[in-house]
Structure 1
Amino acid sequence: KAARPKVPASRWVKRMAVAALVGIVLLVVGGLGVGWWAFNQIEKVEVADVLSPPSPNGMNILVVGTDSREGIESDAENADAFLGGGFSDAGPSRTDTMMILRIADGGQTLLSIPRDLWVRNPVTGENGRINAVYQSGRPALIQAVQGLGIPVHHYMEINFVSFAGLVDAVGGIEIDFPHPARDTNSGLDVPEAGTRTLDGVEALAYVRSRYYTELIDGEWVSDPTADLGRVTRQRAFVSALLRKVAGTKNPFTALSLAQTLGDSAGLKLDDAMSYPEALGLGWQLRSFDPASETLPVVGVNRGGASTLDLGPGADAVIAQFQ
């Protein structure tokens, strides 16, 4: 089989990995030595004007993974392994993963938002897939999610390179594969069934997989759930990743990471998130074991394009995040 791509060993990967890890560690182990200086190294994006007002019922954080090329050198070794294509024809950034992390007295809940969900773009007034709204700006994406009836109190964004670096920084994530699996489009290649520890690039191929196929009884069988299956895999993987990050309890490790943070575009937070709030949030997330909710949707063909609309039962799920 073809050799899988390696995470480029150049400085930009190291910077991104540290930035992503420190940023999330700041949120989940906030009281363990990562201080004000480290918090200020994380880039803040201007979205405060569109965020929902605080609610006594709980907090919703819109967590977005993008295919942004920011910080990626086009001549870096295997750089396009992160993007699934070259740089010359790369289009505008889009959101590849969207989740709502709800934190309330009853615990934490993750809700994935399918990228093919059909919504109104609040900037253009046109309808389209929600993953394309990002091109109109982060405030537009937040407003599109709010248009579904889901308040957004805070915003967090991570790009593909940072995601891969974060996975590597925690030593990989174990995933159980009941069958050999592959996706030639995303680069996923799992030749044997069983538990496999995915490194950063493998993890990226796994969570990006839209054409997931398994070798069952000698035949390659496509996942009939398509993008919905992808959403399920993403949610499970992110939960496992955050649980592992939340296990970082050594203050010296956290401080060392903070000292090597430097400037990076890998992780972004909203400009309304204060340092005390981040620390308080971190303490709430130290025991991270979220429940999962699935947004009911129905497939709709629009001019030959496969899209999704909210389906029966969606209102009841959304109500849990209000």
Structure 2
Amino acid sequence: MTACLAVGADAAVLAHRPARVDIAMPSTSSAAAGETWLILGTDSRTTVPGEQSRYGTAQEVEGSRADVIALVRPSDSGVTIINLPRDLTINSRGMELDRLATTYVPGPQNTVNALCTGLGVPTTHLITIDMAQFADIIDSLGGIDVDVPEPVRDAYTGLNITSAGPHRLTGIDALALVRSRHPEILNNGTWVSMSEADGARRRSESTATVMRAALSAISQRSSNPLELHRLAHTIAGNITLDSDTGLSDLAALGRSASKSEKTGSTTLVDLPTGPRDDSIIVSPSQESRDLLARHGYTPKSCHPTGS
């Protein structure tokens, strides 16, 4: 009896650890859409890991944008993660163009609506994570193991990896890697700046690398009940969920992700886009529309609530 009460109390504490935000989820007329978790990594300077000078203050960099936008789709065959470029520019409200990154400035409801009207994506669950929370989660895993193709640095994010090959990254270093948009690579002893377009592509690749490494680390630790308990509390305390997503939903996603990693059925996809130049704008291509359609995301099939 005492053990049951303890378990119940622990579950109650765990359920109340995530912050909550009210979101009106869209509806869809597509039978193939299934369940879609929208994961947003934000760049608010209100709370940051490490020294504030590394990121700028909230007065210097006002507001909050979506730095990482990923669609997570669990299914019986595995988990698919579609990484959307933050610079992807879509018609989100009538003929108004918005970059996915800045759709978050008015708040997450606006991003949910923009993905619905612009790409036909009907969000069913929302998770947002700020920079400090991201670093805390990575550190709770003991860091993550990534393979770096060449030495790379970025003065804007504090990234400084001086050798190629496998590296164990702390939360701050993993954050610097996924935020890097102005990387320099070491080529024949000389640091060479990548172009804006190549830097954006590298950032997308780095995001996928970090995601896979984090999923692998979570899967490894979930086999130990004590580690799983500690990790569940850490993750739950470092995320914001929509108000209608419960602990059971989050647990089901965790089980799907862990099983998918163990069976090698996790698929990470970078959404293909049209040609990039040195501007920050990139448009959906026919290839990207075809990929989204294969997952049940089609134009005019998604309807924001109240529209």
TM-score over 0.5 (shorter chain): yes
CA distance in structure 1 between the aligned counterparts of 2:57 and 2:121, rounded to whole angstroms: 36
Amino acid at match of 1:267: I
Confirm or deny: 8 A CA contact 1:51 1:154 kept in the other structure: no
**Correspondent of 1:237 among 210, 215, 221:** 210
- 38, 41, 55: which is aligned to 1:65? 41
1:154 aligns with 2:125: yes
The AA in structure 2 aligned to 1:221 is V
Does residue 311 of structure 1 match 2:285? yes
In 2, Cα distance between the equivalents of 1:67 and 1:285? 25
Aligned to 1:137: 107
Q: 1:44 aligns with which of 9, 20, 32?
A: 20
- Equivalent-residue separation in structure 1 for 2:255 and 2:10 (angstroms): 13
- Counterpart pick for 2:271 among 295, 304, 313: 295
Contact 2:25–2:123 (8 Å) recurs in 1: no
250-259 or 186-195, which deviates more: 250-259
Letter aligned with residue 65 of structure 1: G
- 1:230 deviates by 0.7
**Partner AA of 2:75 in structure 1:** A
Say if 2:168 is the partner of 1:197.
Answer: yes
Structure 1 unmatched ranges of 5 or more: 1-30
**1:255–1:179 CA distance, 2 compared to 1 (3 A):** closer
1:78 aligns with 2:51: yes
- Percent identity, aligned pairs only, is 27
CA distance 1:258–1:174, change in 2 (3 Å): closer
1:92 to 45, 52, 63: 63
| Structural RMSD (CA) | 2.9
How far did residue 58 of structure 1 move? 3.3
CA deviations over 1:194-235 (Å, ceiling 9, x no partner): 211111111111110111221122233344522122112101
Question: Secondary structure of the equivalent of 2:259?
Answer: coil
Q: Provide the secondary structure at the position in 2 that maps to 1:136.
A: coil
Q: CA deviation at 1:285?
A: 2.1
Deviation, structure 1 residue 71 = 4.4
Q: 1:133 deviation in Å?
A: 0.8
1:62–1:100 CA contact under 8 A, matched in 2: yes
2:125 and 2:242 in contact (8 A); partners too? yes
2:194 is aligned with 1:218: no
Partners of 1:154 and 1:51 in 2: CA distance? 12
Name the residue aligned to 1:280.
Answer: 252
- Once residues 97 and 163 of structure 1 are traced to their aligned partners in structure 2, the CA distance between those partners, rounded to angstroms, is 11
Q: Secondary structure of the residue that 1:116 maps to in structure 2?
A: coil
Match of 1:320 among 284, 290, 294: 294
- Does structure 2 conserve the Cα–Cα contact (< 8 Å) formed by 1:296 and 1:310? yes
Q: Which runs of 5+ in 2 are unaligned?
A: 1-6, 297-307
Q: Is residue 185 of structure 1 aligned with residue 156 of structure 2?
A: yes
Structure 2 vs 1, CA of residues 51 and 202 (structure 1 numbering), >3 Å: closer, same or farther? farther
Distance 2:151 2:201 in 1: 20
Question: Which residue of structure 1 aligns with residue 226 of structure 2?
Answer: 252
Mapped contact 1:109–1:292 kept (Cα < 8 A): yes
User: Partners in 2 of 1:245 and 1:314 — Cα distance?
Assistant: 30
Aligned residues: 281
TM-score (normalizing by structure 1): 0.77
User: In structure 2, how many angstroms separate the alpha carbons of the residues matched to 1:248 and 1:125?
Assistant: 47
Change (3 A) 1:306 1:232: same
Residues 199 and 126 (structure 1), Cα distance of their counterparts in 2 relative to 1, 3 Å cut: same
Seen in structure 2, the aligned counterparts of structure 1 residues 313 and 199 have a Cα distance that, compared at 3 Å, is: same
Distance 2:20 2:130 in 1: 14
Q: Can you list the C-alpha shifts for 1:24-79, whole angstroms capped at 9, x where unaligned? A: xxxxxxx9x9623302221121114436699676321110000123445xxx9613
Which residue in 2 is equivalent to 1:114?
85
